[in-house]
Amino acid sequence: MHLKIHVSIEHLSSVEGIWCREKKAIVLSSLRPAGRRAFTCAHELGHWHFDHGTRADELVSTRTPDRNQPEENAANQFAGHLLMPPCGVASTLETRKWSPSKLTAVQAYALASYFGVSYAGFLGHMCYALRSLEQSAFEKLSEVEPKDLRKHLCPELSAPNLIVVDEHWLSRPIDLEVGDALMFPSGAIDSAGLIECRSRNSGVASAAGVSQLTNLSSGRTPLIRVAESGFRGYAQFRYPTHNNVYSDS
């Protein structure tokens, strides 16, 4: 279903995103991390779904519920369930044989990678929306900084963002920006050479375009989509087609 909502990414320094009801348009900040930007886009889509008026959502450090902002809470709930549906989260945990009550920071980071959201956003959704993560566990996991997890997982890399792909990754695209790091199962191959390998199971996105991750033991070949760092423009054009696996050339 095409909603006919225009989504663009621009240099916005003071807001997370904008929903313009009159123009049926969403504007996102190119300055925010990709996972945060994805949640913001879904959040603004929630304002459309609930027929809220035009608004600019300011930068905030947390997504915890605020009873004084019912429309914002509704948009957050919409975004969380759109990006991390309960059945999808449950299935992903079950496939990996991970328990919410025993979830580690590394596991939470990998799940955030899979759902395309931030580490903090995933933990908040698990705790406040799905109620599958105890408050004490949420607080403990929240003390771990994503940058420390990136350093722990890929000490040879110093990229600002790291996506962790495991053998259980299904067919959803792996979205990156030039300069982002990718951790993948040993032996996996990037079919178009967009990832500059730094070790047997990690590399850095060095060029924009669309490729596939092949040679996974599961037999699946998820797309790798790489956008230019700091891309500005209509979101639908953020992945160049010169390496596009959809192209006939």
Same domain, 170 and 219: yes
Low-confidence spans in the chain with pLDDT less than 70: 1, 60-67, 242-249
Question: Is the C-alpha dihedral spanning 156, 110, 15, 145 positive or negative?
Answer: negative
Same domain, 14 and 78: yes
Residue 53 lies in a domain: yes
Long-range contacts of 99-105 (CB under 8 A, 24+ apart): 100/126, 100/132, 100/133, 100/137, 101/134, 101/137, 103/133, 103/137, 103/141, 105/141, 105/144, 105/149
Distance CA 123, CA 62 (A): 11
Residues 6+ apart with CB under 8 A from 235: 7, 8, 9, 28, 41
The answer to whether 10 and 238 have CB atoms below 8 angstroms apart is no
Q: SS in 3 state form for 17-28? A: EEEECCCCEEEE
One-letter identity of residue 96 = R
Q: State the pLDDT at residue 247.
A: 39
Same domain, 164 and 214: yes
CA distances (Å), 233 to each of 17, 133, 171, 181, in order?
14, 37, 27, 23
Q: By three-state DSSP, how is residue 90 classified?
A: helix
Same domain, 249 and 158: yes
Same domain, 49 and 106: no
H/E run at residue 106: helix 105-115
Same domain, 130 and 178: no
Query: Looking at the 3D structure of the chain, how many domains does it have?
Result: 3
Question: Is the C-alpha dihedral spanning 128, 69, 8, 11 positive or negative?
Answer: negative
Residue 214 pairs in a beta bridge with 189
CATH of the domain at 27: 1.10.10.2910
**Which residue range(s) make up the domain with 31?**
6-83
Same domain, 91 and 76: no
Distance CA 169, CA 162 (A): 15
Residue 176 pairs in a beta bridge with 226
Among 125, 144, 163, residue at a domain's last position: 144
Distance CA 30, CA 137 (A): 32
Residues 6+ apart with CB under 8 A from 36: 16, 117, 118, 121
Residue 179 lies in a domain: yes
Q: Provide the angle, in degrees to the nearest 10, between the axes of the packed helices 105-115 and 86-96.
A: 130
CATH of the domain at 218: 2.60.40
Q: State the pLDDT at residue 67.
A: 61
Residue 45 lies in a domain: yes
Same domain, 111 and 174: no
Task: Look up the pTM and report it.
Answer: 0.91
Residue 201 lies in a domain: yes
Residue 149 lies in a domain: no
